[in-house]
């Protein structure tokens, strides 16, 4: 019983249920306009329609795939760049402020330029998802590498490890928790930007579906689609957490 009391979800669930009940009551009693906020029961009632008529599963797969592709590219590029910033201090002093500034900038506002350069297609959406995802991966990789204890590196060198072998055997395992924090951040911001771009340019998966439903004033179905965006973000978070536990040194 005591173990259950220490589960965070147990404390979140009552407030979630209370909030949904208040939303349901507010809509039913007319305090909340139905055109703005839908009742939770109405949202659930639209789920079969989303699956049968709006190709929900295919749209989820498309958005999931675009986000995964952008995040995978961000990892492949961001981890080596973050390591380079750690390894070469001149590079770190020259470019760290650039990455920090770009991380704080609303890069999604560049989408008109990218539409002109690359066209209105899925490649453009993936590229912009990569742009926002790679920044936290780079910064957290550099931070993780900087945080590796010198004694671990000294032990690795005592076993004649150097270069890539030292990186894979010592530095990377020690930096995994911090690096995966960057990967999680990259996944979430990539998903947000990809869905937003799908909404803005009306192409792709869930973002396009949300746009279509909003234009048809199908509020309940629209919130159902938004709920699936939240579900995808939670799925990504859980997956990265499991992978991190698997990669951590035992």
> Which is nearest to 142 in space by CA: 106, 116, 171, 168?
171
Mean pLDDT (the chain, rounded)? 84
DSSP state of 120: S
Query: Over the range 102-113, which residues count as b (16 or more CB within 10 Å of their CB) and which as e?
Result: ebeeebbeebee
For residue range 31-68, list pLDDT tens digits in order.
878 778 888 888 888 888 888 888 888 888 898 899 99
- Given a cut of 80, whether residue 160 has pLDDT beyond it is no
Inside any domain, residue 6: no
Mean pLDDT, rounded, for 132-141: 93
Position 105 scores a pLDDT of 83
The listed range with the strongest mean pLDDT (8-12, 44-48, 129-133, 209-213) is: 129-133
Of 44-48, 78-82, 142-146, 209-213, which range is least confident? 44-48
CA angle 116, 118, 191 (to 5 degrees): 105
200, 202, 207, 208: CA torsion to nearest 10: 160
- Given a cut of 80, whether residue 139 has pLDDT beyond it is yes
Q: How many domains does the chain have?
A: 1
Kindly report the pTM of this predicted structure: 0.82
Read off the pLDDT band of 214 (50, 70, 90).
confident
Inside any domain, residue 175: yes
The gap from C-alpha 88 to its chain's centroid, in whole angstroms, comes to 29
Inside any domain, residue 10: no
Inside any domain, residue 27: no
Inside any domain, residue 132: yes
For residue range 218-238, list pLDDT tens digits in order.
888 888 888 888 888 888 778
CATH of the domain at 186: 1.10.3720.10
C-alpha dihedral sign at 196, 201, 206, 211: positive
Helix H or strand E segment including 114:
helix 111-118
Inside any domain, residue 173: yes
Of 119-123, 154-158, 230-234, 243-247, which range is least confident? 243-247
- Given a cut of 90, whether residue 127 has pLDDT beyond it is yes
* Domain of 149, in residue numbers: 41-247
- Given a cut of 60, whether residue 157 has pLDDT beyond it is yes
Position 26 scores a pLDDT of 82
Inside any domain, residue 233: yes
Inside any domain, residue 18: no
Position 54 scores a pLDDT of 81
Position 131 scores a pLDDT of 92
- Residue 162 φ/ψ region, left for φ over 0, alpha for ψ in the -120 to 50 degree band, beta for the rest: beta
Name the one residue in this structure whose structure tokens are 């951590």: 248
Q: Are 224 and 43 in contact (CB under 8 A)?
A: yes
The gap from C-alpha 49 to its chain's centroid, in whole angstroms, comes to 27
For residue range 108-120, list pLDDT tens digits in order.
888 888 888 998 8
* Dist CA 136 CA 242 (whole Å): 19
Other CB atoms closer than 10 Å to residue 138's CB: what's the count?
27
């Amino acid at each position: 019983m005591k173990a259950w009391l220490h589960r965070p979800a147990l404390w979140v669930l009552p407030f979630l249920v209370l909030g949904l009940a208040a939303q349901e009551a507010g809509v039913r009693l007319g305090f909340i306009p139905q055109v703005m906020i839908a009742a939770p029961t109405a949202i659930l009632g639209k789920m079969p329609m989303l699956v049968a008529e709006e190709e929900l599963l295919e749209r989820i797969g498309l958005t999931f795939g675009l986000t995964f592709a952008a995040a995978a590219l961000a990892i492949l590029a961001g981890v080596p760049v973050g390591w380079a910033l750690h390894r070469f201090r001149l590079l770190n002093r020259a470019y760290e402020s650039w990455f920090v500034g770009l991380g704080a900038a609303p890069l999604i506002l560049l989408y008109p330029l990218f539409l002109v350069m690359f066209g209105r297609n899925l490649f453009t959406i993936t590229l912009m998802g990569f742009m926002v995802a790679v920044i936290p991966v780079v910064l957290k990789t550099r931070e993780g590498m900087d945080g590796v204890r010198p004694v671990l590196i000294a032990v690795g060198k005592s076993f004649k490890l150097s270069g890539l072998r030292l990186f894979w055997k010592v530095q990377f395992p020690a930096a995994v928790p911090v690096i995966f924090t960057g990967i999680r951040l990259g996944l979430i911001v990539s998903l947000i930007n990809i869905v937003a771009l799908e909404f803005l340019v009306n192409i792709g998966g869930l973002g396009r579906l949300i746009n279509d439903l909003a234009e048809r004033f199908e509020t309940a179905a629209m919130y159902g689609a938004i709920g699936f965006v939240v579900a995808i973000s939670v799925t990504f978070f859980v997956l990265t957490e499991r992978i991190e536990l698997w990669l951590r040194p035992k």
